Amino acid sequence: MIYENNNGFVWFIFMVIGLGEFFVHGDNSWFDAHATFYGADQNPTSLGGACGYDNTFHAGFGINTAAVSGVLFRRGEACGACFLVICNYNADPKWCLRRRAVTVTATNFCPSNNNGGWCDPPRSHFDMSSPAFLTIARQGNEGIVPVLYKRVSCKRKGGVRFTLRGQSNFNMVMISNVGGSGDVKAAWVKGSKMRMWTPMHRNWGANWQANVDLRNQRMSFKLTLLDGRTLEFVNVVPSSWRFGQTFSSMVQFS
């Protein structure tokens, strides 16, 4: 954690007060990291890689996304989590933009190269979309800047989305556009012909699976986030569903 001094201290207090509404669990701790950005000519909506979002815009995350290092990614558990990121102006006034912040969603994994790379453990690193990076920093210095970050609550438009994948008795669901803490800790599914909830298991990224045959049934889901909050999404999927379709709920985590 970095404490600013002199004019920088005033700026830091300004950021804390002005952005306080974004804090999760009242935790006011900022942590050190570095940030880079994807190529400027790369479509920022295609950065869903290791989380399996395919298109981050269609998944509800827009273009302010980031691939995060392993210590933040947590083997896919952080998919959909939100981070408030500010450029550390005191550490790099040449390339950091002052009093600028951006909230990014973790949608991808930044792999380590085991040779001192920015995403090598135990480093915290954000490889951001170009639009997100340029919100807080100038392009230069090889595109690397020091930043401060913290976990924040995700503000989403519309409900949680469920994209159906798989085949026959192998049902895989990609869960996206999750508000609140954003990262799903546990998931269950229940068909309209079932009495009990069936636990789902994380297959990879934001994709959860259940080895049950749910064809021709309405489907309900129950999700628990990392912060412990749980919601049920009753009959969010009609019995006429097909693999490849996406259904949006009427409820959302706040």
- State pLDDT tens for residues 193-248: 999 999 999 999 999 999 999 999 999 999 999 999 999 999 999 999 999 999 99
| Of 5, 46, 37, 248, the residue nearest 139 (C-alpha) | 37
Model confidence band, residue 20 (pLDDT cutoffs 50, 70, 90): very low
195's CB contacts (< 8 A; 6+ apart) are none
Q: What is the pLDDT of residue 229?
A: 97
Least confident of 11-20, 47-56, 72-81: 11-20
Residue for token pair 């395919």: 54
Model confidence band, residue 8 (pLDDT cutoffs 50, 70, 90): very low
Residue for token pair 């934001």: 206
Asked if 186 and 210 touch (Cβ cutoff 8 Å), the reply is no
Q: Read off the pLDDT of each residue in 12-41 and give the average, rounded to a whole number.
A: 61
**Domain locations along the chain:** 6-152, 161-248
State whether residue 64 is helix, strand or coil.
Answer: coil
**Class for the domain spanning 6-152:** mainly beta
Q: How far is Cα 127 from Cα 53, in angstroms, rounded to an integer?
A: 17
| Of 211, 216, 209, 213, the residue nearest 239 (C-alpha) | 216
229's CB contacts (< 8 A; 6+ apart) are 180, 181, 253
Q: What is the pLDDT of residue 43?
A: 59
Q: Which CATH superfamily is domain 161-248 in?
A: Expansin, cellulose-binding-like domain (2.60.40.760)
Q: What is the pLDDT of residue 18?
A: 39
Q: What is the pLDDT of residue 104?
A: 98
Task: State residue 51 phi and psi, 5-degree precision.
Answer: -95, -15
Residue 13 pLDDT greater than 80, yes or no: no
Q: Read off the pLDDT of each residue in 173-186 and give the average, rounded to a whole number.
A: 97
Mean of all residue pLDDT scores within the chain: 87
Model confidence band, residue 16 (pLDDT cutoffs 50, 70, 90): very low
Q: Copy the structure tokens of residue 69.
A: 């290092």
Q: Read off the pLDDT of each residue in 176-200 and give the average, rounded to a whole number.
A: 98
Residue 14 pLDDT greater than 90, yes or no: no
Model confidence band, residue 67 (pLDDT cutoffs 50, 70, 90): very high
Sign, CA torsion 46/47/49/52: negative
pLDDT in tens, 91-144: 999 999 999 999 999 999 999 987 889 999 999 999 999 999 999 999 876 789
Task: State residue 127 phi and psi, 5-degree precision.
Answer: -100, 95
150's CB contacts (< 8 A; 6+ apart) are 23, 24, 27, 28, 29, 30, 31, 83, 84
* Percent of the chain residues past pLDDT 70, beyond the cut: 85
Q: How far is Cα 49 from Cα 194, in angstroms, rounded to an integer?
A: 34
118's CB contacts (< 8 A; 6+ apart) are 34, 36, 69, 110, 125, 127, 144
Q: What is the pLDDT of residue 95?
A: 96
- Cβ atoms < 10 Å from Cβ of 158: 12
